[in-house]
């Protein structure tokens, strides 16, 4: 099997302790990037993340030798995160991503422009919520228009909003063949997010098992030191023990 890119960690950064425990566990497992979102777009008002205040926690993650990853909603946020982390820990790598709901192509392109300015930063882009191949390909085009080296861009399939057939009761229904077609047409790497696809721990395993039959370049998985206490997406976050089992099953 070719080298897989593994991005794992909590849905959201919640506290210093939670972030640092997760970073140590991720580092032990040689995860490539540890995710922990500072800004959370939510369906309804609720915990929206620690925001700018939380950037220092990601600096601590980088100081431990673990490369951090977080979603950004605006180019200014990308700028702030890059400046702070890469000034304090210049040897660190960093992954920023554009989430499924961020479908304003002016904003997508500006975020890509900011990321393009520093070779230590990678940009991941999730598919839009509704199932449409043309739109998905268009998002990749807008991002590349920002002038970023395509080698630093990773697409991520996280399923599409259910509309009709959904036999496993997924939170978002995957379209593996479409993901493979986009990967082929754009020439970009494509990872799979079984967490936002599955929506529950058993479904995370199920979706990851299905996806292992396709040519994805890696996985983005939500893992929390104590999932039942998670402030967002509690039902789908794995424990580190479950994450180990997921990785073992993929190799089997």
Dist CA 250 CA 221 (whole Å): 13
SS3 252: coil
Q: C-alpha angle with apex 132: 130 to 133, nearest 5 degrees?
A: 140
CB-nearer residue toward Mn ion: 146 or 198 = 198
Q: How far is the CB of 126 from Mn ion (least distance, A)?
A: 11
Write out the residues near Mn ion by the rule CB under 5 A.
Answer: 11, 233
CB-nearer residue toward ligand PEP: 89 or 182 = 182
Q: Which residues contact 168 (CB under 8 A, 6 or more apart)?
A: 203, 206, 207
In degrees and rounded to multiples of 5, residue 203 shows phi and psi of -70, -25
Q: How far is the CB of 233 from Mn ion (least distance, A)?
A: 4
Query: For the chain, where are the E strands, in sequence order?
Result: 5-9, 33-35, 68-71, 94-98, 121-126, 153-157, 189-192, 218-222
Contacts (CB under 6 A) with ligand PEP, residues 160-219:
196
CB atoms within 10 A of CB 248: 9
Residue 99 interacts with ligand PEP (CB under 6 A)? yes
Residue 9 interacts with ligand PEP (CB under 6 A)? no
Q: How far is the CB of 214 from ligand PEP (least distance, A)?
A: 18
- Residue in this structure with the two tokens 């915990």, named with its chain if needed: 47
To which H or E segment does residue 190 belong? strand 189-192
Residue 100 interacts with ligand PEP (CB under 6 A)? yes
Q: How far is the CB of 93 from ligand PEP (least distance, A)?
A: 19
Specify the stretch interacting with ligand PEP by CB under 6 A; choose among 79-87, 96-104, 113-121, 175-183. Answer: 96-104
Specify the stretch interacting with ligand PEP by CB under 6 A; choose among 20-28, 95-103, 108-116, 160-168. Answer: 95-103
Specify the stretch interacting with ligand PEP by CB under 6 A; choose among 18-26, 98-106, 110-118, 244-252. Answer: 98-106
- Pair 161, 125: CB distance under 8 Å: no
CB-nearer residue toward ligand PEP: 82 or 220 = 220
171 binds, among ligand PEP, Mn ion, none (CB under 5 to 8 A by kind): none
- Pair 166, 176: CB distance under 8 Å: no
Q: Nearest residue by C-beta to Mn ion? A: 11
Q: Which residues contact 131 (CB under 8 A, 6 or more apart)?
A: 160, 161, 163, 173, 175, 178
Q: How far is the CB of 241 from Mn ion (least distance, A)?
A: 20
Q: How far is the CB of 39 from ligand PEP (least distance, A)?
A: 10
Binding site for ligand PEP (CB under 6 A): 11, 37, 99-101, 126, 158, 196
């Amino acid at each position: 099997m070719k080298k897989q890119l593994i991005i794992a960690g909590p849905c959201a950064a919640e506290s210093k302790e939670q972030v640092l425990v997760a970073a140590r566990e991720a580092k032990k497992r040689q995860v490539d990037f540890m995710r922990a979102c500072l800004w959370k777009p939510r369906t309804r008002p609720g915990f929206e993340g620690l925001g700018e205040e939380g950037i220092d926690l990601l600096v601590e993650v980088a100081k431990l030798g673990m490369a951090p990853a977080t979603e950004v909603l605006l180019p200014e946020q990308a700028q702030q995160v890059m400046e702070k982390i890469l000034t304090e820990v210049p040897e660190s790598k960093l992954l920023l991503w554009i989430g499924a709901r961020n479908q304003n192509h002016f904003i997508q392109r500006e975020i890509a422009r900011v990321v393009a300015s520093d070779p230590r930063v990678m940009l991941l882009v999730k598919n839009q919520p509704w199932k449409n191949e043309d739109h998905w390909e268009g998002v990749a085009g807008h991002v590349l228009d920002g002038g970023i080296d395509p080698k630093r861009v990773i697409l991520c399939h996280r399923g599409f909003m259910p509309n009709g057939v959904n036999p496993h009761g997924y939170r978002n229904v995957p379209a593996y063949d479409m993901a493979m077609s986009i990967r082929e047409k754009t020439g970009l790497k494509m990872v799979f997010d079984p967490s936002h696809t599955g929506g529950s721990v058993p479904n995370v395993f199920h979706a990851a098992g299905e996806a292992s039959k396709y040519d994805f370049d890696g996985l983005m998985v939500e893992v929390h030191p104590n999932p039942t206490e998670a402030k967002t997406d509690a039902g789908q976050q794995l424990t580190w023990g479950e994450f180990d089992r997921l990785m073992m099953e993929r190799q089997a």
